[in-house]
Amino acid sequence: MTRRVPTRRELLGAGAAGAASLVALPATAAAATATTSGSTSSQQPLTETERLQRLIGLELLLVYCYRYVLSSSILDPGTRRTLTPFVDHERAHIDALQTHLTARGGTAPPGPDSVKTANRYLGHRDVAGRLGQLKGSQDALNLLLRLEQTTIGAYFVALINVNDTKLISLVCQIMANEAQHDAMIGLSMPKGTPARAVPYGLVQGLQ
């Protein structure tokens, strides 16, 4: 059964207790250090190639999840119209990232090829909700929202660690675009308003 996804407001409240927060709320020094390095102390920091592979992996998961949700009859027509262009946006992100990855001699990871694989990846990313178990529009939007926020978080960490200025520019442009997706998903929620869709002054996503 699908676990209820906490609202962003709940996440914000939980941030004080050290839970993952959408905006950077009270974080321990240890958490800040882990964020800075992008890895735990026992691991080597990722190379730019590995980081690009990780970002592309997330984008491929986003594409899979958007396509899954859009091909079902879960969403109302208005929300479907809003979200449909996002698939092409994510594809464009993958293409741009792949150009940088290829220049470094790396190869893109495979995307999920089944619902089971996608759900496994969602689990690895601590994204609540599973494809095939979505009970309605709100479940689907919550899953996509969490995945977009996780992706924003991955770009935030990348900005800390990447040094190539062209790649930094690209990461900023994509991170801001994912934040726009996040806002539009928020606006598409029941009782969504512009104020509720952009509830925080600083957005660094979920890590």
Partner 1 sequence: MVSGDRAPSRRALLTGTGTALAGGALALAGCGSVATGKKAVKKAPMPLRRRDIAILEQALELERRTVSAYLACIPLLTRPQRKAFRQFLNEELQHTGEIASLITAGGGTPPPRADSYRIGHPTDGPGALAVIHSLEALQISSYLEWIPQLSPGPVRAAVATVLTVDAQHLTMCRVLQGQDPVPGPFVTGSA
Closest CA to 146 of 106, 89, 185, 105: 185
- Terminal-residue alpha carbon distance, the chain: 24
Please provide residue 142's backbone torsions phi and psi, each rounded to the nearest 5 degrees: -60, -40
Window contacting partner 1 (CB under 8 A); options: 3-11, 20-28, 50-58, 122-130 = 20-28
Site string for partner 1, 99-118 (x = CB under 8 A): --------------------
Comparing CB distances to partner 1, the nearer of 104 and 196 is 196
- Give residue 132's region: left, alpha or beta (phi > 0; psi -120 to 50): left
Residue from the set 8, 58, 90, 119 that interacts with partner 1 by CB under 8 A:
90
Q: Is 17 in the site for partner 1 (CB under 8 A)?
A: no
Comparing CB distances to partner 1, the nearer of 21 and 119 is 21
Comparing CB distances to partner 1, the nearer of 131 and 152 is 152
Q: What is the residue type of 103?
A: A
Torsion of CA 114, 120, 123, 127, to 10 degrees: -10
Whole-angstrom CA distances from 162 to 45, 157, 187, 205 are: 11, 9, 32, 17
- Least CB distance from residue 114 to partner 1, whole Å? 26
- Tokens at 94, concatenated: 């993958």
Number of residues near partner 1 (by CB under 8 A): 57
Q: In whole angstroms, give the CA distance from residue 101 to residue 108.
A: 7
Q: Is 19 in the site for partner 1 (CB under 8 A)?
A: no
Site for partner 1 in 134-193 (CB under 8 A): 152, 155-157, 159-163, 165-166, 168-170, 172-177, 179-184, 187, 193
Question: Which stretches of the chain bind partner 1, using CB under 8 A?
Answer: 23-27, 31-32, 35-36, 82, 85-86, 88-93, 96, 152, 155-157, 159-163, 165-166, 168-170, 172-177, 179-184, 187, 193-195, 197-204
